[in-house]
Structure formats: structure tokens, C-alpha cells
């Protein structure tokens, strides 16, 4: 009927009906494209007048296809929905004409996306800053230079203009190799790493068909990315007679910045983050054998125990080094206090 559908948005695709073609136009197009565009989407395109049959636009999805019909379809570029300003409280650590530094709470999504079109950090920043945010990040990511997972708390910097955005983006891309950039996290992990200090050098890529989950990859695939995490054990909890610790507080510093990097790397060495729903499922039963009050404190944690406590940057305008720290949030602090009594 036709070759596989490989059209980029904005390009025209030409299909020719076979000798036995029949039925509704929308159903025929969906079959011709092997389901690579949903039927609902095709119906919308027909209504929008971007589907032509034999050189003329057709606006009815029920239009009957006939053998030999020449169908032209153009998929428009997707338009990003413009986020709306929302009065969401933020914890500001610093602000001037070039940048904003905040302590992001756990549960706050950084920018709008599927399932999170409102209530994000971007919505809050638009309310606070109006139209002054940098536009480099696009409609959905104004001012965003880096990001933290929804359920990771900690320090974030946001650019207020394009000059600051470019300068800060260059710093994050360099990962502190030639400048003062530092990013450090505190993580509560199960057990105690064999080494009190070490480096995890393990490439990351998609975990199978799951678009959001990551895994350590040994093969050279298109989505595999170099990833390096440096860690140091700060505290050990519940350690008696050399039998190993129940949990540890670990400081992690990023040499690269990949999606879920710390979470996957700590799981890779056998010490996943406490509370991590994606990467510590094998340790869920450990919660039930924790002594009190540690057991209750862990059960009340509804996220991975990861906090970006430190961010150091070079100010894009005057070059001075700025260092920001965010205190450990209450949910993690309760666990640390409870573990400290073991």
C-alpha cells in the first residue's frame, strides 16, 4: 500500500490507494500508516483541512476512499501549550536581575509535561517573574537551566534572561571541569557501600521499553550515555559487631548529569535509595523489620530519599562564585534522627 511512515512534522506524505481500497478515509489512512498516527489524530487533521484527496481538501472523515485515489497528508508542527502563571509559594535562596536560586520541595515538577500541565515550578516562576524569564528553554521551559526529579528536593538555579541562561548552561555542560560549578546530593541508602569512598563509572540508557526508567547499559546503543558519580559515606546506622549497617547517609557528587543518575548508580552497587519506587523494590520488605521509630519514619516517606543540598556556580554577570545550601527537609531529617538512635 505504501512504504513505512517516516514523515517529520511539517512535511507532506503522499499515499496511493490500492485497487481494492474502500471504506472511510480516516480508517484507510490509519491502516495505510500502520497505526503510527492515531485515528483520532487523523480525524482532527482532516477537520483542519490538511488532508487532500486527488488534489482537493477533504473535511469529512467518513469520505469514501476509492481505488487509485491519491491522498496527501501534512502533519503540522506541534504547538507547545503556553503555561499559565500560578501563585505557588517558593523558597527563594537568592535573586537578582540575572538569576533566581530556590530550594525546590519534593513533589514539585520542574516544567509542564504529560500529566503535569499546571502546578509546576515554571507556573510559579511565571507568576513571580512575569515575562522576564529567559526564552531559550522554549515555551514550556522558560529559564530552566537544569532540573531535579519531581520527588527530589534541593537547590536549583533559574535564569532570568538569555545572557544568564547561556552562561549557566555552559557551566552545567562543563560539569565543573574548568569552573567553580559543584553539585552535591545527600542520599539515604540501604546498607553500607563496601567502600566508604568511591566512584561509580557506569553508562546509562533506557530500561527496555520504559521511556522514563533508566538502567546501567554495557552495550553501545544509541541512547547509552557516559555517567560518573562520586560518593562518600557520611554516616552509618544500625551497625553492630561488624555485621554491616542497616542504612547509610551518602554524599554524591555528579561528574555527569544523567536522568536518575544517582538513583540508578546506587542501585547498581547494591545500595538503592530508601523510598525509591522505581529502583529499590527489592528492599521494600526491609521496612517491615526496621526497629522503631525508624520503621515508622521510613513508611512515612513517600519519595526517594535524595536531596540536592549544595549548588555552587559562577555568577554570569560579574564572575563571582556563589555557593548555596538547602537544609535537609523534614521527611529525610526524621529518618536520620530515627536511624541515629539505633
Contact 229, 254 (CB under 8 A): yes
CA–CA separation, 301 and 134 (whole Å): 35
Q: Is 205 helix (H, G, I), strand (E, B) or coil?
A: strand
Given 26, 149, 276, 331, the catalytic residue: 149
d(CA 322, CA 312): 6
The DSSP secondary structure of 78-126, one letter per residue, reads PPPPPPPP------EEEE-SSEEEEEEPTT--SS-BTTBSSSSHHHHHH
For the chain, give the longest Cα–Cα distance.
83
159/135 Cα distance (integer angstroms): 9
Helix (H) or strand (E) holding 73, with range, is: strand 70-74
91 part of the active site: no
C-alpha cell at 9: 512534522
Q: What are the catalytic residues?
A: 149
Amino acid at each position: 500500500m505504501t512504504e513505512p511512515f517516516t514523515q517529520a512534522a511539517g512535511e507532506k506524505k503522499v499515499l496511493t490507494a490500492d485497487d481494492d481500497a474502500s471504506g472511510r478515509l480516516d480508517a484507510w489512512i490509519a491502516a495505510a500508516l500502520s497505526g503510527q498516527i492515531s485515528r483520532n489524530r487523523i480525524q482532527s487533521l482532516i477537520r483542519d483541512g490538511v488532508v487532500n484527496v486527488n488534489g482537493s481538501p477533504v473535511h469529512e472523515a467518513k469520505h469514501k476512499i476509492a481505488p487509485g485515489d491519491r491522498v496527501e497528508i501534512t502533519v503540522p508542527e506541534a504547538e507547545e501549550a503556553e503555561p499559565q502563571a500560578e501563585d505557588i509559594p517558593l523558597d527563594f535562596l537568592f535573586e537578582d536581575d540575572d538569576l533566581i536560586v530556590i530550594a525546590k520541595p519534593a513533589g514539585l515538577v520542574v516544567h509542564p509535561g504529560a500529566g503535569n500541565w499546571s502546578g509546576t515550578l515554571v507556573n510559579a516562576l511565571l507568576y513571580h517573574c512575569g515575562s522576564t524569564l529567559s526564552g531559550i528553554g522554549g515555551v514550556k521551559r522558560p529559564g530552566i537551566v537544569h532540573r531535579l526529579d519531581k520527588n527530589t528536593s534541593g537547590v536549583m538555579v533559574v535564569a532570568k534572561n538569555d545572557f544568564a541562561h547561556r552562561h549557566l548552561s555552559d557551566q552545567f555542560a562543563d560539569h565543573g571541569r574548568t569552573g567553580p560549578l559543584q553539585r552535591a546530593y545527600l542520599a539515604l541508602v540501604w546498607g553500607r557501600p563496601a567502600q566508604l569512598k568511591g566512584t561509580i563509572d557506569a553508562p546509562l540508557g533506557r530500561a527496555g521499553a520504559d521511556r522514563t526508567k533508566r538502567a546501567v547499559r554495557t552495550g553501545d546503543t544509541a541512547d547509552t550515555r557516559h555517567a560518573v558519580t562520586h560518593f562518600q559515606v557520611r554516616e552509618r546506622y544500625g551497625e553492630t559487631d561488624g555485621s554491616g549497617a542497616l542504612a547509610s547517609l551518602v554524599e554524591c557528587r555528579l561528574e555527569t548529569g544523567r536522568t536518575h543518575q544517582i538513583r540508578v548508580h546506587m542501585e547498581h552497587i547494591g545500595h538503592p535509595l530508601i523510598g525509591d519506587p522505581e529502583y529499590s523494590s527489592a528492599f521494600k520488605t526491609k521496612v517491615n523489620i526496621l526497629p522503631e521509630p525508624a520503621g515508622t519514619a521510613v513508611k512515612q516517606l513517600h519519595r526517594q530519599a535524595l536531596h540536592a543540598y549544595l549548588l555552587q556556580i559562577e555568577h554570569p554577570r560579574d564572575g563571582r562564585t556563589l555557593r548555596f545550601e538547602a537544609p535537609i527537609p523534614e521527611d529525610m531529617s526524621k529518618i536520620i534522627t530515627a536511624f541515629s538512635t539505633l
